[in-house]
Amino acid sequence: MRRAAASLGLRVGLPLVGMAIGASGAHKGTDGEIALPAIGAVLGLVAASAIDIGYLSRAEDTAKPARMLAPAFSAGPNGNVRFGIGGTF
């Protein structure tokens, strides 16, 4: 749940920050008044996607591979005895 919230925050927040940075550098009445905030928003989207793909989408490596050997022993009613080794690999 935390990763989903972080992803949403990045995908909404970084384009807004990029727009704000672009708007701060634009001069009123010029072509940059619209272009620079749009470029900032696109760069924010690209950065959010890169962070999401590179960091947030990676699975946590908490599970270790199950490798186990266990002895097996059984005794039957007629005196039959079996020994063995079983396991998962």
Residue-by-residue DSSP string for the chain? -HHHHHHHHHHHHHHHHHHHHHHHHPPTTSTHHHHHHHHHHHHHHHHHHHHIIIIITSPP--PPP--EEEEEEEE-TTS-EEEEEEEE-
Q: Where are the domains of the chain?
A: 2-56
pLDDT 10s digits, 66-81: 677 777 777 877 778 8
**pTM tops 0.75, yes or no:** no
pLDDT 10s digits, 9-33: 999 999 999 999 988 887 777 777 8
Query: What is the C-alpha radius of gyration for the chain, rounded to an integer number of angstroms?
Result: 29
Residue 82 banded pLDDT, cuts 50, 70, 90: confident
- The CA-to-CA distance between both ends of the chain, in Å, stands at 32
